[in-house]
Amino acid sequence: MAKKEITLILPGLAPILEQEINSSIIPPQLRTVISKARFTQHSDNLIRLVTQLFSSDQLRGRDLPLASLRADNSLVLCADPCYLHADRDQLLLFSGDLTISDDDADHIINIIQPLLVDYDATLVKQSNEQWLLQLKTMPDLEFTALAEVSGKAVQTALPTGQQYQRQAWIRLWNEIQMSLFELPVNIRRQQQGLLPINSLWFWGKGDLRLRCYYWQTVMGQHHLLKQLADKSDTDYSSDIDITAINQQSGRYLMVFEPLDLDGDWQTQLAELSASLQQLWQQLKWRKIDRLTIEIPNYGQFELTPFSCWKLW
């Protein structure tokens, strides 16, 4: 009999589970799943989790090889715009919700491009918030994925490796910041209540070997999920539909929307619990062989039909 395995990724749930005070307001079905499942703790963020689920290799380094996914070219790095904020004796990096317009992106890229001549590199815009650095030669350095450093201090995440190249790339990184300091477009952005774009973050080195046809269908609205599905010849749907998996066997991946912790996250949790209830019933009656729940920055819960009948 063909097997059916379901993997759910539930972003934003970690802060709720980490606080014991929230245990009484977690929906009953979610509490049941947590109590019955085999738990494995990990600290993988959402981007690393999604990438690993498609990769045929274990992704153990600080970086994630996603530049080649964007460009079908191994001589390319992600060079994503970001905001560096000086906080006492450290620099904090922010990369989410920058709201970059076409004009702002084009203008900033034109400002930076002359600095890249000595590196024989070209900065191109894939989208307003995802840029690429096209190279003739890949530096002998190890970078850090943007998702690993976003919202954190950058000092320990700077490139490492061959000393001369490391110094050259950190010098370029500093020159970019100086060129963007008090740039009129950034002054205007701040007047509009937007964060300035005062730096780039280089990352994404390496080739990503994908497991093609591994997933029957993947569902969710995360941009990376669609990119990975397209490159691995996997059926993709932006909408999560539990009923769509009722009849077919295979592996299914569902990436839910992050919980809005500043909004009505309890309603979101209730809706999530309703989806879990459907899957729990299918698992209980062996219509699903394995249910895996991944919670970024927290851990993995794994259940089999036997888990449903545990008395503890």
pLDDT in tens, 154-203: 999 999 999 999 999 999 999 999 999 889 999 999 999 999 999 999 99
Q: Is residue 98 part of a domain?
A: yes
Query: Could you tell me if 18 and 90 lie in one domain?
Result: no
Query: What domain range includes position 195?
Result: 67-203
Last residue of some domain: 203, 228, 262? 203
Query: Could you tell me if 23 and 145 lie in one domain?
Result: no
Query: Could you tell me if 167 and 243 lie in one domain?
Result: no
Query: Could you tell me if 140 and 174 lie in one domain?
Result: yes
Q: Is residue 269 part of a domain?
A: yes
Strands 4-9 and 290-295: parallel
Q: Is residue 128 part of a domain?
A: yes
Last residue of some domain: 203, 221, 245? 203
Structure confidence by residue, pLDDT tens digits, 46-77 = 999 999 999 999 998 999 999 999 887 779 99
Measured CA to CA, the distance from residue 245 to residue 8 in angstroms comes to 13
Structure confidence by residue, pLDDT tens digits, 287-298 = 899 999 999 999
Total count of domains within the chain: 2
- Sign, Cα dihedral of 227, 231, 232, 237: positive
Structure confidence by residue, pLDDT tens digits, 112-157 = 999 999 899 999 999 999 999 999 999 999 999 999 999 999 999 9
Which residues, 6+ apart, have CB-to-CB distance to 128 below 8 Å?
100, 101, 102, 104, 105
Is residue 280 within 8 A of residue 308, CB to CB? The reply is yes
Query: Could you tell me if 187 and 258 lie in one domain?
Result: no
Query: Could you tell me if 180 and 81 lie in one domain?
Result: yes
Query: Could you tell me if 72 and 189 lie in one domain?
Result: yes
Query: Could you tell me if 161 and 288 lie in one domain?
Result: no
Last residue of some domain: 179, 203, 227? 203
Q: Is residue 62 part of a domain?
A: no
Query: Could you tell me if 178 and 84 lie in one domain?
Result: yes
pTM over 0.95: no
Q: Is residue 141 part of a domain?
A: yes
Measured CA to CA, the distance from residue 134 to residue 119 in angstroms comes to 10
Query: Could you tell me if 191 and 221 lie in one domain?
Result: no
Is residue 284 within 8 A of residue 307, CB to CB? The reply is no
User: In the predicted model, is pLDDT for residue 20 greater than 90?
Assistant: no
Query: Could you tell me if 155 and 273 lie in one domain?
Result: no
